[in-house]
């Protein structure tokens, strides 16, 4: 049976360290790091994510603001909101909760966030800096996964790493971070032929495809580390990942559960990025 990578436990340890550093920052500088989260509409999953982010910020001693806008907010109104936060010196990190309603241009909204306040690391400048390996912020989910691997003392250098999924939020930056850590990386997607043959070569398999229980035991190399980024509901409404956990657990060497795996680490990285942004604001 695989070793279960406990994301809740790792996140709690890292967040305790962040809270200590936030307290030291406040004592030294007289103010707390501040995060503003903008949510448009009332998507249930997005509302849960935003509530969790606010709670985590407050627990770490940071200032947290949530700006709730209606579903029919215009792009002009949303951009005005982002611009107002960009000019606010008490706000060090800005996060616009995705996905946005279809009538809004996500790219235009992300582009309006100053790179130095882009704690999601989605702006063109920050994405480019990740490519070069010279960055202030990392995308929260991939960076959280890297923290998990470090905490679990899983060495990436020289390992065959396979990422299923090529999104700008997870797949692409995940591949880049593994590459920076000297992994040999393959990115798979909907057009990949003989997918199972590729995934069976992975020493480290990261699954971010958005399909419930898509990865089965026959797709996994015995002893592999399996990181499940998925968050789905099965036919019975039960929360599950992109990996068939019950079957793959018997084959893998280590595996993240859903829930309680990658999810807590994503918000943990957001806290880290917000503290970094506050520190960088002092350098201006």
Residue range 31-57, pLDDT digits in tens = 999 999 999 998 888 888 899 999 999
Look at domain 30-114 and name its CATH class. Answer: alpha beta
For the annotated catalytic residues, the residue numbers are: 53, 97, 120
Q: Where are the domains of the chain?
A: 30-114, 140-263
pLDDT for 85: 98
CATH code assigned to 140-263: 3.40.50.720
pLDDT for 237: 82
Give tens-digit pLDDT for 98-141: 999 999 999 999 999 999 999 999 999 999 999 999 999 999 99
Domains 30-114 and 140-263 share a fold: yes
Contact indicator for 203, 224 with CB cutoff of 8 Å = yes
Q: Which residues in the chain come in under a pLDDT of 50?
A: none
User: CA 239, CA 163: separation in Å to the nearest integer?
Assistant: 22
The token duo for 14 is: 């890292």
Strand partners, 227: 206
pLDDT for 43: 83
Q: Please, what sign has the CA dihedral across residues 45, 46, 47, 51?
A: positive
């Amino acid at each position: 049976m695989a070793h279960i990578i406990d994301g809740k436990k790792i996140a709690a340890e890292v967040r305790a360290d962040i809270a200590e550093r936030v307290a030291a920052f406040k004592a030294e500088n007289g103010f707390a790091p501040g995060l503003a989260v903008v949510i448009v509409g009332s998507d249930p999953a997005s509302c849960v994510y935003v509530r969790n982010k606010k709670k985590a910020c407050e627990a770490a001693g940071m200032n947290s603001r949530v700006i709730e806008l209606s579903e029919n907010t215009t792009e002009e109104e949303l951009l005005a909101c982002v611009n107002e936060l960009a000019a606010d010196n008490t706000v060090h990190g800005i996060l616009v909760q995705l996905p946005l309603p279809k009538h809004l241009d996500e790219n235009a909204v992300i582009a309006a966030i100053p790179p130095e306040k882009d704690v999601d690391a989605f702006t063109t400048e920050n994405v480019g800096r990740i490519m070069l390996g010279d960055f202030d912020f990392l995308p929260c989910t991939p960076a959280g996964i890297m923290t998990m691997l470090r905490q679990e003392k899983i060495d990436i250098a020289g390992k065959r790493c396979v990422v299923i999924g090529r999104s700008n939020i997870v797949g692409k930056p995940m591949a880049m971070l593994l590459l920076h850590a000297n992994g040999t990386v393959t990115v798979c997607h909907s057009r990949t032929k003989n997918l199972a043959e590729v995934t069976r070569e992975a020493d480290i398999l990261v699954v971010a495809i958005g399909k419930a229980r898509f990865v089965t035991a026959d797709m996994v190399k015995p002893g592999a580390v399996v990181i499940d980024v998925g968050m789905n509901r099965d036919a019975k409404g039960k929360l599950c990942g992109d990996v068939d956990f019950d079957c793959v657990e018997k084959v893998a060497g280590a595996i993240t559960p859903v829930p309680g795996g990658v999810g807590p680490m994503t918000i943990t990285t957001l806290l880290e990025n917000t503290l970094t942004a506050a520190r960088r604001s002092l350098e201006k």
